[in-house]
Chains A and B, each alone.
Chain A
Amino acid sequence: MTGVDFDEISCAGVSRHFGRRHAVSRVSFDAPRGTILGLLGPNGAGKSTLLAILATLLRASAGEVRYGRFDASAGPSLRARIGVLGHDLFLYPELTAFENLALFAGLYGVPGRGARARAALDSAGLADRADDPVSSLSRGMRQRVALERALIHAPRLALLDEPFTGLDDASTAALVARLGSLREGGAIVVLATHDLDVAEGLLDHAIFLREGRVVEALARPGGLRSTYRSVMGR
């Protein structure tokens, strides 16, 4: 299924409140094709909320999100170009890894979904566990399957919420390489993470969030940890 396509995403003054509290407050940024953008910040900073807004799961209370010429009202054709790795993994525990991937490949209109699912499992290094129910996999393995699910339809925009959680060094390196190749392929990757060491050197842009607000935005960031400390200390 072909959807709309876009060369960049942009947020302009995006806010979202729940009752009396802002979860996200006047966040603005742009991310063109072939970029990896990092959302960094402590728990409760609004990273997950912002990702949910970008995924069209939540509506912004104020401000605008644009995907090239389009916005969230483009509906199904926009969703076809977005892949999401959520905090909760979006996998059916009773189904096998293969079945989960094949199901979502089918739902996203990927041709030859069975073969695609197998290929995805190979690249995650889980081909031998393909027919085991997801509930029997370790957290790290589930994370890898969930990542494959998010990317199975080769999305233009990949939204990843804490993708490095539970991964061992080998898997982390593999994921870093994977994100690099996504960037080569012209995807826009927005990832929220706590893991500053991994993010170091990976990110093209870094946005530091605290209490829903952008406190710092850097291009080509280096020395993330020290920047983080100085920015969050304020």
Chain B
Amino acid sequence: MLRAIWLILRKDLTVEFRSREIATTTVFFAVSCVLAFAFALVREGQAPEDGAAGILWIAIMFAGNLALGRTFERERQAETLRALMLVPAPRPAVYLGKLAGIVLLLAATEVLLVPLVALLFQAGLLARPFWLVGVVAAGTIGFATVGTLFAAMLVRARSRDVLLPVLLYPVTVPVIIAGVRATAALAQPDVDLGIVQFWLALLVAFDVVFLTLALWTFEPVMTE
């Protein structure tokens, strides 16, 4: 099973390195998102309080949504997702392989995005880097866990492009709330670690619950 996950992940990385299409468009889109929010919300050079955290997470979710759609669109081309389902590995391995790819892609985007947001909004986001990494990682994993399942589910559905956000955003409300609150707390000059830990714990619990649920439901949902 682990080998299957690794092979699928490596395949996705190889394909991506060849064309770099999804990575570059995702990053570019995320940056445009941030700029759009900056123009919309910044007044007289001042972002609204906690604006940086909110903008960061919205950009991650929008960019993640696009990346998910594009990744699974690729699998649709030669029905390769079906080919993966035929493989003798347990079917959740396919899910985990794709999940790992998405998480890495989003992580690469965030490496660029977080410093950018900190810079543009003079937010002290980078004061506690380890906590920040933890929060962003836990939130991204939570978003990707639900997103990968939904995107895989929708591969053969009609209107799949618009259905993904319709399904994904309400279900990931806890992620955005927890992510923004924790990030905002980290951006304060006097960081209240208690608050950060609370939200981080919630994110980790979300990740665990939904990853388990996704692994259980992947096969029944994907077979006709």
Contact = CB atoms under 8 A, between A and B. Distances in A.
A and B in direct contact, judged by CB atoms within 8 A: yes
B223 interface: yes
Contact of B11 (A3, A103, A109): A103
B134 interface: no
B87 A107 contact: yes
B78 A106 contact: no
Interface string B179-212: 0000000000000000000000000000000000
B224 A58 contact: yes
B88 interface: yes
B80 A107 contact: no
Given A55-B86, A77-B88, A94 B18 contact: yes
Contacts of A95: 11, 14-15, 18
Interface residues of A, number: 33
B80 A90 contact: yes
Interface string A66-98: 000000000111011010101111111111000
Interface in B1-48: 3-4, 7-8, 11, 14-15, 18-19
Given A93-B77, A103-B11, A79 B87 contact: yes
A108 interface: yes
B88 A1 contact: yes
B166 to A, nearest CB: 24
A90 B223 contact: no
Given A59-B224, A103-B7, A106-B7, A93 B78 contact: yes
A57 interface: yes
A6 interface: no
Contact of B89 (A58, A76, A99): A76
Nearest to B21: A94
B14 A91 contact: no
Contacts of A103: 7, 11
Contacts of B4: 107
A104 interface: yes
Contacts of B90: 75-76
A89 B7 contact: no
A86 B84 CA distance: 13
Given A86-B82, A91-B78, A103-B7, A80 B88 contact: yes
Interface in A115-154: 133, 149
Given A90-B83, A107-B4, A107-B7, A99 B14 contact: yes
A94 B88 contact: no
Nearest to B4: A107
Contacts of B86: 55-57, 79, 82, 84
Nearest to A153: B88
Contact of B87 (A87, A92, A93, A108): A108
A90 B88 contact: no
Contact of B82 (A90, A94, A99, A109): A90
B126 interface: no
B88 A86 contact: no
B133 interface: no
12 contacts: A1-B88, A57-B85, A57-B86, A57-B223, A59-B224, A94-B19, A95-B11, A95-B14, A106-B3, A106-B7, A107-B87, A107-B88
Given A57-B223, A104-B87, 10 more contacts: A56-B86, A59-B224, A86-B82, A90-B79, A90-B83, A92-B80, A94-B18, A94-B19, A107-B89, A108-B87
Interface of A: 1, 3, 55-59, 75-77, 79-80, 82, 84, 86-95, 99, 103-104, 106-109, 133, 149
Give the top 3 A-B pairs by smallest Cβ distance, nearest first.
A90-B83, A80-B88, A88-B79
